Amino acid sequence: MKELIKIGRIFFGIGVIALGIHQLIIKDFRSEILAPFPAWAHQNSIFPILVGIVLIVAGIIISGVFKIKFIDTKKVCLYLGFGFLASVIASHLPYVIMLSADKTPDFQVWINLLEALTYSGGAFVMAGSFTENISAGNKKNFTSLLEKLIPCGRVFYSILMIVFGLSHFFFAGFIATLVPKWLPAPMFWTYFFGAALVIAGISIIFKILIKPIGLLLAFMLLLFFLFFHIPDAIANPSASGGNEIIRALICLLFCGIALVIALTNDCKRKL
């Protein structure tokens, strides 16, 4: 089980590294990392580049591929989770509120917000996979306060899975066109995977058969990565600065979160 948790961390770390590298390439914030608000943050490339470098370093540390002495990986996960959560509160939510005053935000704006929340949740889930208790030393430490958000990680993650699942029903006609041509009955698979995502999200939130459901969700996302995202990335490698490649690795990031949720003892904690 410990080896699978390590694989989950590697998948998550690879996804975070990919986010950072893409920001270095496009020299701007990815839409789910930071909303168009505040505008000044997008007007100077130094900000997304610096954040990109931080993401790359954090991803390398979390993946565990290279051991770095004197660095507490759990703390890195906690502060990464806080960073993404701050982005949701200080950037995405104000942008949605301001946009709502003019027109209803489109579906992608909400997805960007929820993806940032999912990255935050994923980082907290990774933090929960480490057994050491930071709060034992100092209960008034800010890091120890962040530890209290660890049980929220699986909830943040599951919200997006549920929304993705529901989208299979609301946009079934479009999503059916994305099903690989060699797979028969595309509408059936569209509804099947949609229902599976919704059920998985609800099960993880309420901790119902969380281990088997989490493992099945991780396996399903791995299939998405192999049979949908990888072919798409190969077909469109340079689109939007390599965005299709990044989307494939984000799917791997989601897979890693599900794997760790399924196997870590911290997912048994009560909210």
What is the DSSP track for 26-75? HTS--TTTS-S-STHHHHSTHHHHHHHHHHHHHHHHHHTSS--TT--HHH
The per-residue pLDDT for 22 is 96
Please give the Cα distance from 15 to 250 (Å, whole number). 5
Are 15 and 44 a contacting pair, CB within 8 Å? no
Only one residue has tokens 């909210």, namely 271
pTM equals 0.93
How big is the CA angle at 110 (ends 238 and 262), to the nearest 5 degrees?
85
In angstroms, rounded to a whole number, what is the distance separating the alpha carbons of residues 75 and 56?
Answer: 16
Give the span between the Cα atoms of 173 and 110, in whole angstroms: 21
**Residue 188 CB contacts under 8 Å (≥ 6 apart), including other chains:** none
Asked if 258 and 218 touch (Cβ cutoff 8 Å), the reply is yes
For helices 186-205 and 153-170, what crossing angle results, to 10°?
160
pLDDT along the chain (271 residues), means of 10: 92 98 96 94 96 97 86 95 98 89 78 97 96 65 92 97 96 90 92 97 95 96 94 87 93 98 65 39
| Cβ atoms 193, 201 nearer than 8 A | no
Calculate Rg over the CA atoms of the chain.
18
pLDDT number for residue 180 = 85
Residues, the chain: 271
d(CA 77, CA 81) in angstroms, rounded, equals 6
